[in-house]
A and B are shown apart, each in its own frame.
Chain A
């Protein structure tokens, strides 16, 4: 029912799709790009609180009714997405209870992701948070090699940039990843999962329970 209203769009790295406290213009459904949800303090300090790939959508505030973004949504890996204008989505919701319910289930996953992120930010080391982040990224884009700058990773993890070099070096020392010039590859996914242990997987599990047919 939503299909005919979706239009293709190409997203570039660093495009801002939503700004905190501003009305959302479009809801995006990534196909092969990755979007970061970033919470920010008034002085500009930021940390990532969620990520959205082919399993999800942006624009959840539209689904919740108010339509004003709580956080910033920024493109991390460029690629394509389908999108629908906020007004179009708002019109569809009351016409299909099942569509609305499906979006609300996804909002629940977003909440689980944000709360888990808060938990790991206070309980896991930078090295483990980085490992978790790489696993989550692989889940959402399906690739195992990414072009990522340390500057960007530092902002996502909420640490000083040189610390990212150190954390990557440690994960490399455990033979879990390969890291070269702005390029990070996953070498041993099972090893990464074992290393992060209980810090990874709860939002993904919840997603699979709520969307059993999605192939996630």
Chain B
């Protein structure tokens, strides 16, 4: 299985995911991003914060190609599997 890196962008700030994660393909990448973003948004809401819609995952493959940009707003608006 290929390894995908979920870098995190928060406005101008960027946090590199050095470790990555083995996933079967783009569908699994999207599912993981969706579930993780839902988890983070839900927690933020329960903590009294507004929805963190300005954040996103920028997901690269091992060759450093950008395979998906996943804005957290998508997790707030669209259905997905339960985290």
A151→B6 CA distance, assembly (Å) = 12
* Inter-chain contact B21/A165, CB cutoff 8 Å: no
How far apart are A196's CB and chain B's nearest CB, in angstroms? 14
A159→B36 CA distance, assembly (Å) = 8
Task: Indicate with 1 or 0, residue by residue over B9-44, a CB within 8 angstroms of chain A CB atoms.
Answer: 010010101110100000000001101100110011
* Inter-chain contact B47/A165, CB cutoff 8 Å: no
* Inter-chain contact B6/A165, CB cutoff 8 Å: yes
A165→B18 CA distance, assembly (Å) = 9
Q: How many residues of A contact B (CB 8 A)?
A: 19
A159→B35 CA distance, assembly (Å) = 10
* A166 contacts across to B, CB distance below 8 A: 8, 15, 36, 40, 55
Which secondary structure dominates chain B's binding surface?
Answer: mixed
B2: interface (CB < 8 Å) = no
Known A-B contacts A169-B8, A169-B10; the reply to A162 vs B47 at CB < 8 A is no
Chain A residue at minimum C-beta to C-beta distance from B35: A160
* Inter-chain contact B36/A169, CB cutoff 8 Å: no
* Inter-chain contact A160/B83, CB cutoff 8 Å: yes
How far apart are A181's CB and chain B's nearest CB, in angstroms? 4
* Inter-chain contact B17/A162, CB cutoff 8 Å: yes
- How many A-B pairs fall under 8 Å by CB? 58
A47: interface (CB < 8 Å) = no
Q: How many residues of B contact A (CB 8 A)?
A: 23
A173→B8 CA distance, assembly (Å) = 13
A33→B12 CA distance, assembly (Å) = 39
How far apart are A25's CB and chain B's nearest CB, in angstroms? 33
* B19 contacts across to A, CB distance below 8 A: 149-151, 161, 181-182
* B36 contacts across to A, CB distance below 8 A: 159-163, 166
* Inter-chain contact B39/A163, CB cutoff 8 Å: yes
- Interface residues, chain A, with chain B CB atoms under 8 Å away: 125-126, 149-151, 159-163, 165-166, 168-169, 172-173, 180-182
9 contacts between A and B (CB under 8 A): A151-B21, A159-B83, A160-B32, A160-B36, A166-B55, A168-B15, A169-B13, A180-B18, A182-B19
